[in-house]
Amino acid sequence: MSLSDPAAVIILAAGEGTRMKNQTPKVLNHVCGRSMLGHVIAASRELAPGRLIVVTGHGRDKVTAHLAEHASDAEIVVQDRRGGTGHAVRVVIEAVGLIHGTVVVTYADTPLLRGSTLSDLVAAHRAHQAAVTVLTARLDNPTGYGRIIRDAGGAFTGIIEEADASPEQRAITEINSGMYAFDGELLADTVKRVPTDNAKGEEYLTDVVSILRGDGYPVATAACADPEEVLGVNDQAQLAWARRVLNERLLHAWMRAGVTIVDPASTWIDVGVKLEPGVHIGPSTQLEGTTTVAAGAQVGPGCLLRDTTVGDGATVVNSVCESAVVAAGLTVGPFAHLSGGRHQ
């Protein structure tokens, strides 16, 4: 860890997610071949934090097993009851002790979050030598989010929850993402002072911001340029939306890298897929898992490839390949089903 790296990233992953209406813990639902929690872990790793801490609660056994397989270095802290975001962070500090340095807090249900956005948050936090820096975003429809209040000069003065906001304040489009960078020592002291005199009787991190500002400490903000990154996924419709947005990101990245994708609207690619420049992807094609396609190969139309390797100049048309190795120059299909082993 360098002096510019945060001391810790805390990922809040204890929510029940009842609106998903399935048996999978919300944060383990997949987006483009990776769990939502996995996406946030990947973004957090770009900061090279000293510690990666995940707060679990609902479905903790499944979440713990998932972390053991995909992020065995993550420290797991259990939030036994739903006590709010402030309570979750307090539980972390009580479990792991005082964290010296910058502590970033984020959420496991924001799979579109980029590591660069967290880096910008940390950079702003250090540049302003702040006690806490709030990640904000501007939404065309800010309904449901706390609003950022600023004075006539544009300086941050507070966060107002929508339920408490006046009509003028509700018209504000700059929202609190709920993601923060804190001074670790001040966070440890202040989180113990968070009140519970609200409708749910819970402890909220927004109150930590208010307490620090009230104590005279500097509070800064960092703007997220792409508001989609901070939007949480709470139901199946939002999960499908997140898949579409992330898939479009992946497709554009591969096309900029020299891959031909004939019909992006009907092409789906997982985050673990690797494509070489000069690959040609036909319409209605899904590339999943750890699939790798070499230069000059053509895949599609109408293909599903899962954990499959396609060699140089090979052609796969209207076929399903699972854990297969397609040799260089080989033509597969139409209407083939390959599974396991090498095919040449």
> Which domains, from first to last, does the chain contain?
8-230 (3.90.550.10), 257-343 (2.160.10.10)
Q: What is the pLDDT of residues 102-127, one digit of tens each?
A: 999 999 999 999 999 999 999 999 99
- Residue 128's Cα: distance from chain center in Å? 25
Give the model's pLDDT for residue 17.
83
The tokens of 258 are what? 């020299």
The tokens of 293 are what? 């396609």
3 state DSSP class of 338:
strand
Q: Is the pLDDT of residue 2 over 60?
A: no
Q: How far is CA 252 from CA 120, 255, 310, 324, in A?
A: 23, 5, 21, 26
The residue from 19, 170, 193, 342 that is catalytic is: 19
Q: What is the pLDDT of residues 187-239, one digit of tens each?
A: 999 999 999 888 788 999 999 999 999 999 999 999 999 999 999 999 999 99
161, 202 contact by CB (below 8 A): no
What is the C-alpha to C-alpha distance for residues 217 and 130, in angstroms, rounded to an integer?
7
Q: Is the pLDDT of residue 3 over 50?
A: no
Give the model's pLDDT for residue 4.
57
Mean of all residue pLDDT scores within the chain: 95
19 catalytic, yes or no? yes
